[in-house]
A = this chain, B = another copy of it.
Amino acid sequence: MLSAEDAAIAATISLLLEVSASPKSGNVDRDHDFEDLKFEDFLISSAAAFPSFLRAAESKKIGENIFYAVKTSSRWQRAGNVHFGAFLLLIPLLTGWEGRRGKEVAKIASENVKRTTSDDSIYVFKAFKICKARVLEVEKFSLKDDKTKNFIVEKNLNLYNWMLLAPKDNLIAKELTEGFKISLKASEKLFNYKNKKEAIVYTFHELLASYLDPLILAKFGYEKAVEIKIKASEALKEGIEGFKKLDQELLNIKANPGTIADITASAIFLAICDGWLYA
């Protein structure tokens, strides 16, 4: 990346390309809206996030800019939670833009996550309160409970230590505490395809076949999440036609693997750092 502005451009492009790629089983894409969440909401939210992306790249402040990204996104569209998970990944990554390649960007971002304070955690908590994202429930620090805020302050939990307490299936917490390993691996896979749209569609389904999506887990439980993971593996053998079938099946039961989409976006960002757009 040449500048903080370029980093913000790359993050915005990541969101735009991710949501536009189709078919992405169960999720909103250029061909599929939900009743209360449309393709246009994602476009609007992506544009609305730009100033927060730019500030994150310039100031390296994580929590604050996650909060402002969610707040500005929610002011510009009325669908509620559009990009909470994606912002949780992209904004830390943006603070690492000066790294020469995706790997170094992820490394600097991970160090910056470790350097956050409990103020960052409070900002993320407040961001969640605005967009009411669906997350995996845990007893001690439910995002729905104001006690969590006190808990963060009492224990002086920075974002890193807070995320360490998340359930093991919380893939975003995993990314933030384990060096963005999943996103980095997926970013390499994106280079295996000549066509960008196809690259995103395949990479999304490879992730879906490899991990249980936390949103699916929260909405449908373990059994269904495992079933979808297995079905994604089978769809991968068939390619686009397989994805289309699985897409329809998941749309019918409103099972949207939103976190897998978020990680697809962070993978695109890291791939762009490695020159993917012109590969």
Interface on A for B, CB 8 Å cutoff?
5, 8-9, 12-13, 16-17, 20, 30-31, 39-40, 43-44, 46-48, 50-51, 54, 72, 76-78, 196-197, 277-278
Chain B residues positioned under 8 Å from A40 (CB to CB): 17, 20, 196-197
Pair B50/A9 contact, Cβ less than 8 Å: yes
Q: Is the CB of B51 within 8 A of A9?
A: yes
* Contacts A/B (CB < 8 Å), 6 sampled: A8-B50, A16-B44, A17-B40, A40-B196, A44-B277, A78-B278
Decide yes or no: A43 and B76 within 8 Å by CB, A5-B51, A50-B8 being known contacts. Answer: no
Chain B residues contacting A78 (CB-CB under 8 Å) are 278
Contact of A17 among B31, B43, B48, B54 (CB under 8 A): B43
CA distance A76 to B196 in the complex (A): 14
Residue in chain B with minimal CB distance to A196: B40
Other-chain residue from B12, B77, B278 in contact with A47 (beta carbon distance below 8 A): B12
User: Dominant SS at the A interface?
Assistant: helix
Question: What chain B residues lie within 8 Å of A43 (beta carbons)?
Answer: 13, 16-17, 20
Rounded to whole Å, the gap between the CB of A9 and the closest CB of chain B is 5
**Residue from B17, B30, B44, B47 in contact with A50 in the complex, judged by beta carbons closer than 8 Å:** B47
Given contacts A40-B197, A197-B40, A47 and B5 within 8 Å (CB-CB): no
Q: Say yes or no: A20 contacts B13, CB within 8 Å.
A: no
Closest Cβ neighbor of A278 among chain B residues: B78
Are A39 and B13 in contact, with the CB atoms below 8 A?
no
- Check A20/B30 contact, CB under 8 A, given A40-B196, A196-B40: yes
A103 to B197 CA separation, bound complex (whole angstroms): 39
- Residues in B neighbouring A278, C-beta threshold 8 A: 78
A264 to chain B, nearest CB (A): 15
Residue from A8, A13, A47, A76 having most chain B Cβ neighbours under 10 A: A47
Q: With the chains together, A40 CA to B20 CA distance in Å?
A: 8
